[in-house]
């Protein structure tokens, strides 16, 4: 049995003193570099990311599990990782705070071809040739390379703040996973789902390996379409003078033709079917056959059949029992079957053959033609369809199960349209060629008997994890990289061992990935999970958009348009990068990324930092700078001031909305909601209103409430911006060691501490303040100059409400005097603004230009009238009043009334101006 991975069982939360936060920041700007590293070290060493099977199995905690898409061992962190990791970490931290036993499993993929190429190139620089040193020595080099560079990307992920449980870290080539891979191969073979087949494969002549369909890109390229004469011959082999014209884009494969095909219903050729033609460039004659696959309207209506080098032709060949000639070597040169062209590279051969055809008078014409060319997505080499024996997985039985779990809703895709893509692929799936002609990878567990001469018996192989014993040699090939990564969600937990980790954390919760590996990986993981464990690997799949450059192009080395996330972290801070990516992560559209966008995140982090200083500097501290006093609110909700009741109400609503949005993977929305609350509500209004006047210390009650709300702000923002929030967390009040923000609970404001009426009143205050500021701006009243204002309230009750908020309005609008009354005498030479049920007069003796004010009022009145007209038209519409819901109609009526009152007030003021 494979080794069960060693996962420590004790939660090891640090009890040492946590790092010292900067207690009384003196600079005006937040410096992320100083705080990020120390907190990450504290979190990791303190075991704050640890997830324990026992907590689930015995503690009754609900698990939340995300398998990290393992980055390639050759990889460096790029923006795609940064985006996906941000989402994953956000979810993991959020769920962890919500009380889930949250596990994010990290690891690395061995990335067969990519790694082999990298190491091969490195060796070549030192003059070492892979083939010369042999398999064993080469693999030693690869392992050495892996040991040296293999975990760079995981270190980089730490910079981003990834809260993985690193104790679970795995590598797709480690012992446990290797064992799992081999067993899966054997199991599938025993189930009849792995087989060896001799078919046309996608051959990459550069890397000299087969690749799967998914690894091939079809690229349109300018090329040529040549029309070639194939002379018809009689039974004796003499040319009859007739000929069939054939259009082809691949004249270099002519020597491998084994038939010429026409459509059975094509009357132009009916008489010729059954006769033979002479294949140009070779003396061979081949039959003219009839097959449905031929398109009558393409070229001259006749097709050369080359079963050894074309998939369609291969199928035709099977139907007509044609010979399959393979004229190409594995390196893309032609072999001896190509006669005179043997030894030439395929491109060279093409040119030569065209020239020779022309000389022989067999070339009818050459046309420009756009050729769809298969390209290896990795090496960019033109793929050659070649006949080659390979190992395959029969996919249909696996696909059926994987389809069922999406159809029945066990797995949900976000956004849902990806489920359709997924279905489309699975419903029309082809068998998966899994063998690769590489050295770096999982060796195929197939053993061939060898005789004394060393001859391998290809027929009587044994499929087994371990060698059957003396006299057997193992298959030289390795398995496709994806054949190990499709086991990732459970192999990382110790499968096929029945470990506690597996019991506790399988099935997982969410997979976050880009759509680029939907087929490669996501779909196959679901197949593997449902097939081998009878359970889905996760219930939710969140598909992110792909990161493009500013102009919408893919980021690539050749274009040099990549943005290095580490540079961005250095420049703006990890929190800024994370927050910005969170904002941009809306509903799976691709993201055009301009590095300047990170400024927004940086500014937000800075804003939070500075906000804490408004009240944070009044917190008493010891010599080490730690807060010594635990300020707690003593007043009940009802005793709080208006602004405080409003703030708590907004906090409650915001937390609720953010929680809901995160739960539904609406990351961008959650980010915006939190931002608005922190910046607009907390900073712009609450802090401005509650700030102590110059030279005064705010009351303890004010400090207590500010601390309380800010603490929840930090919790709310922590999944987005873990570093700055953790740093500030320790500056608010004395905390026990280990009482870190990362381990705190997701905020849950008391629904009883909300007050819709207070919120309404405060909104009126905001409107009044804004209105007065508008007047000040309109008339360029400098902030240093105090003005008076008069608020005429509609009735005594609203007047009283505004009276209660008098101080706010005075302070925020810069008023020297505020008169409030239900029935005010309007001062002369004043600007008038209507705010809901209130009219605000701002006396501007000497500052006001009556003409300008008249114009402004008229414009305002016209606007309101236009609006009113629209509303009244709606209300006069019998159909609207009778068919629209009552609430909607009532709302419209209210709008009309408000507009009328506002117009009346404004008109009165206009009249007063004379």
Partner RNA sequence: GGGCUCUUAGCUCAGUUGGUUAGAGCGCAUCGUUGACAUCGAUGAGGUCACUGGUUCGAAUCCAGUAGAGCCCACCA
Residues 548-567 that bind RNA (CB under 7 A): none
* Least distance in angstroms from the C-beta of 736 to RNA: 28
Number of residues this chain uses to bind RNA (CB under 7 A):
87
Nearer to RNA, 317 or 494 (CB): 317
Show Cβ contacts of residue 13 under 8 Å, excluding neighbours closer than 6 positions: 46, 47, 48, 738, 743
Residue 586 touches RNA, criterion: CB under 7 A: yes
Q: Which residues lie closer than 8 Å to 58 by C-beta, 6 or more apart? A: none
Written as six digits, the tokens of 704 are 């207590």
Does residue 691 touch RNA according to CB under 7 A? yes
Cβ pair 342, 334 in contact under 8 A: yes
Which CB, 625 or 866, lies closer to RNA? Answer: 866
Residue 431: which of 663, 764, 199, 115 has the closest Cα? 199
Q: Name which of residues 470 to 529 contact RNA (CB under 7 A).
A: 519
Q: Which of residues 190-219 bind RNA (CB under 7 A)?
A: 213-214, 218
Residue with tokens 């990890």: 574
Q: How far is the CB of 67 from RNA (least distance, A)?
A: 23
Interface residues for RNA in 98-157 (CB under 7 A)? none
Identity of the residue, 495 or 720, whose beta carbon is nearer to RNA in the bound complex: 720
CA angle 477, 478, 480 (to 5 degrees): 130
Query: In whole angstroms, what is the distance from residue 204 CA to residue 209 CA?
Result: 6
Work out how close the CB of 542 gets to RNA at its nearest, in angstroms, rounded to a whole number: 14
In the complex, minimum distance from the CB of residue 617 to RNA, in angstroms, rounded to a whole number: 8
Alpha-helix residue ranges (DSSP H) falling in 617-755: 642-663, 667-675, 688-690, 700-717, 722-732
Residue 834 parent element (H or E): strand 830-835
CB of 503 to RNA, least distance (A): 36
CB of 777 to RNA, least distance (A): 4
- With vertex at residue 477, the alpha carbon angle to CA 474 and CA 479, rounded to the nearest 5 degrees, is 110
Give the three-class secondary structure for 86.
Answer: helix
Residue 717 and residue 670 in contact, taking contact as beta carbons nearer than 8 Å: no
CB of 190 to RNA, least distance (A): 29
The 245-264 site mask, x for binding RNA (CB under 7 A), equals -xxxxx--------------
Q: Can you list the alpha helix ranges (DSSP code H) found in 218-310? A: none
Binding mask 884-913 for RNA (x = CB under 7 A): xx--x--x---x---x--------------
Which residue of 613, 735, 811, 893 would you call a contact of RNA, by CB under 7 A?
A: 613
Report the 10 Å Cβ neighbour count for 367. 11
| Near RNA by CB under 7 A: residue from 13, 76, 400, 607 | 607
The tally of CA atoms less than 13 A away on the side-chain side of residue 41 is 10
| Residues in 385-424 that interact with RNA by CB under 7 A | 417, 420-421, 424
SS3 content of the chain, % helix, strand, coil (to 5): 45, 20, 35
Site for RNA contains 319 (CB under 7 A): no
Site mask for RNA (CB under 7 A), range 635-674, x = bound: -------------------------------x-xx--x--
Quick one: 144 or 293, whose CB is closer to RNA?
293
Taking CB under 7 A as the criterion, the residue among 54, 540, 599, 907 binding RNA is 599
Shortest reach from residue 243's CB to RNA, in Å? 16
Segment near RNA (CB under 7 A), from 78-86, 184-192, 451-459, 599-607? 599-607
- Residue 380 in the binding site for RNA (CB under 7 A): no
Query: Hey, which residues between 280 and 299 contact RNA (CB under 7 A)?
Result: 293-299
Q: Which is nearer to RNA, 3 or 367 (CB)?
A: 367
For strands 259-262 and 302-305, give the pairing. antiparallel
Q: Among residues 10, 148, 694, 750, which is the contact residue for RNA, using CB under 7 A?
A: 694
Report the residue from 119, 177, 577, 614 that binds RNA according to the rule CB under 7 A.
614
Q: How far apart are CA 272 and CA 290, in angstroms?
A: 10
Count Cβ atoms within 10 A of the Cβ of residue 210 and give its class: 0-12 exposed, 13-18 middle, 19 or more buried.
buried
Q: How far is the CB of 826 from RNA (least distance, A)?
A: 22
11-50 binders of RNA (CB under 7 A): 28-30
Q: Per the structure block, which two tokens stand in for 656?
A: 């609720």
Site residues (CB under 7 A) for RNA, limited to 855-884: 863, 867, 871, 877, 879-880, 883-884
Helices first, then strands: H and E counts in the chain: 29, 29
Q: 302, 261 in Cβ contact below 8 A?
A: yes
Shortest distance, CB of residue 731 to RNA, whole angstroms? 13
The DSSP symbol for 276 reads E
Q: CB 867 → RNA: shortest distance, Å?
A: 5
311 makes contact with RNA (CB under 7 A): yes
Could you say which residues in the range 669-688 bind RNA, by CB under 7 A? 669, 672, 679, 683-684, 687-688
Cβ contacts of 52 within 8 Å, gap of 6 or more:
9, 10, 11, 59, 101, 504
3-state secondary structure at position 828: coil
């Amino acid at each position: 049995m494979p080794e069960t991975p060693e996962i420590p069982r004790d939660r090891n939360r640090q009890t040492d003193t946590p790092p010292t936060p900067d207690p009384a920041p003196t600079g005006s700007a937040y410096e992320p570099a100083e705080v990020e590293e120390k907190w990450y070290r504290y979190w990791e060493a303190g075991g704050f990311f640890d997830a324990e099977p026992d907590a689930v199995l015995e503690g009754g905690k609900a698990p939340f599990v995300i398998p990290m898409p393992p980055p390639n061992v050759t990889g460096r962190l790029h923006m795609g990782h940064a985006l996906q990791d941000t989402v994953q970490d956000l979810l993991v931290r959020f769920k962890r705070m919500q009380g889930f036993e949250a596990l994010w499993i990290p690891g690395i993929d061995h990335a067969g071809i990519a790694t082999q190429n990298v190491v091969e190139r490195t060796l070549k620089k030192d003059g070492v040739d892979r083939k010369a040193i042999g398999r064993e020595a080469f693999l030693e080099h690869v392992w050495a390379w892996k040991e040296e560079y293999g975990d760079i990307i995981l270190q980089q992920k730490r910079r981003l703040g990834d809260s993985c449980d690193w104790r679970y870290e795995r590598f797709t080539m480690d012992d446990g996973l290797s064992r799992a891979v081999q067993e899966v191969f054997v199991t599938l073979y025993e189930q009849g789902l792995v087989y060896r087949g001799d078919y046309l494969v996608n051959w990459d002549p550069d890397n000299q390996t087969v690749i799967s369909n998914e690894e091939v890109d079809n690229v349109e390229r300018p090329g040529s379409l040549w029309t070639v004469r194939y002379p018809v011959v009689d039974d004796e082999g003499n040319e009859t003078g007739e000929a069939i014209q054939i259009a082809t884009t691949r004249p270099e494969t002519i020597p491998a033709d084994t038939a010429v095909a026409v459509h059975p219903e094509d009357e132009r050729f009916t008489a010729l079917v059954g006769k033979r033609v002479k294949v140009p460039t070779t003396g061979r004659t081949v039959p003219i056959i009839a097959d449905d696959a031929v398109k009558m309207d393409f070229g001259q209506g006749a097709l050369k059949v080359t079963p050894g080098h074309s998939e369609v032709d291969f199928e035709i060949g099977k139907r007509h029992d044609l010979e399959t000639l393979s004229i190409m070597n594995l390196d893309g040169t032609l072999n001896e079957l190509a006669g005179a062209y043997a030894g030439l590279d395929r491109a060279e051969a093409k040119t030569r053959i065209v020239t020779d055809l022309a000389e022989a008078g067999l070339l009818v014409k050459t046309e420009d033609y756009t050729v769809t060319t298969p390209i290896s997505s990795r090496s960019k080499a033109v793929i050659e369809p070649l006949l080659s024996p390979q190992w395959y997985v029969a996919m249909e039985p696996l696909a059926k199960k994987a389809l069922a779990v999406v159809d029945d809703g066990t797995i949900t895709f976000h956004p849902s349209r990806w489920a359709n893509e997924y279905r489309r692929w699975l419903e029309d799936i082809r068998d998966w060629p899994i063998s690769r002609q590489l050295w770096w990878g999982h060796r195929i567990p197939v053993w061939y008997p060898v005789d004394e001469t060393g001859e391998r018996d290809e027929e009587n192989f044994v499929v087994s994890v371990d060698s059957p014993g003396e006299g057997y040699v193992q298959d030289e090939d390795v398995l496709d990289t994806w054949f190990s990564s499709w086991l990732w969600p459970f192999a990382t937990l110790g499968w096929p061992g029945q470990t506690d980790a597996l019991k506790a954390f399988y099935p997982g919760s969410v997979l976050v990935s880009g759509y680029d590996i939907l087929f490669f990986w996501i779909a196959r993981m679901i197949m593997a999970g449902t097939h081998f464990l009878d359970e889905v690997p996760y219930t939710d799949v969140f598909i992110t958009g792909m990161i493009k450059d500013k102009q919408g192009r893919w980021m690539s080395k050749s274009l040099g348009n990549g943005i290095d996330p580490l540079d961005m972290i250095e420049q703006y801070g990890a929190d800024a990068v994370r927050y910005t990516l969170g904002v941009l992560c809306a509903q799976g559209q691709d993201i055009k990324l301009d590095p300047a966008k990170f400024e927004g995140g940086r500014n937000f982090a800075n804003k939070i930092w500075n906000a804490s200083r408004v009240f944070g500097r009044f917190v008493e501290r010891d010599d080490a700078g730690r807060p010594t006093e635990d300020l707690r609110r003593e007043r009940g909700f009802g005793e709080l001031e208006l602004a405080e009741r409003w703030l708590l109400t907004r906090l409650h609503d915001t937390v609720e909305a953010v929680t809901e949005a995160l739960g539904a993977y609406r990351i961008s929305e959650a980010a915006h909601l939190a931002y608005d609350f922190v910046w607009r509500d907390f900073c712009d209004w609450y802090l401005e209103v509650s700030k102590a006047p110059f030279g005064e210390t705010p009351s303890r009650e004010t400090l207590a409430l500010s601390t309380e709300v800010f603490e929840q702000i930090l919790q709310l923002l922590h999944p987005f911006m873990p570093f700055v929030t953790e740093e500030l967390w320790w500056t608010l009040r004395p905390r026990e060691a280990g009482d870190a923000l990362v381990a705190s609970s997701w905020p849950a404001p008391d629904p009883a501490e909300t007050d819709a009426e207070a919120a309404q009143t405060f909104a009126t205050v905001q409107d009044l303040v804004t209105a007065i500021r508008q007047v000040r701006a309109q008339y360029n009243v400098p902030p240093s100059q105090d003005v008076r204002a008069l608020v005429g309230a509609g009735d005594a009750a609203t007047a009283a409400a505004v009276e209660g908020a008098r101080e706010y309005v005075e302070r925020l609008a810069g008023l020297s005097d505020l008169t409030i009354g239900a029935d005010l005498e309007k001062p002369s030479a004043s600007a008038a603004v209507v705010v809901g049920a209130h009219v605000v007069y701002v006396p501007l003796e000497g500052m006001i230009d009556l003409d300008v004010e008249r114009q402004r009022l008229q414009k305002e009145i016209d606007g309101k009238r236009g609006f009113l007209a629209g509303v009244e038209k709606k209300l006069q519409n019998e159909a609207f009043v009778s068919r629209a819901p009552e609430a909607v109609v009532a709302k419209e009526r209210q709008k009309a009334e408000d507009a009328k009152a506002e117009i009346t007030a404004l008109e009165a003021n206009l009249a007063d101006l004379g």
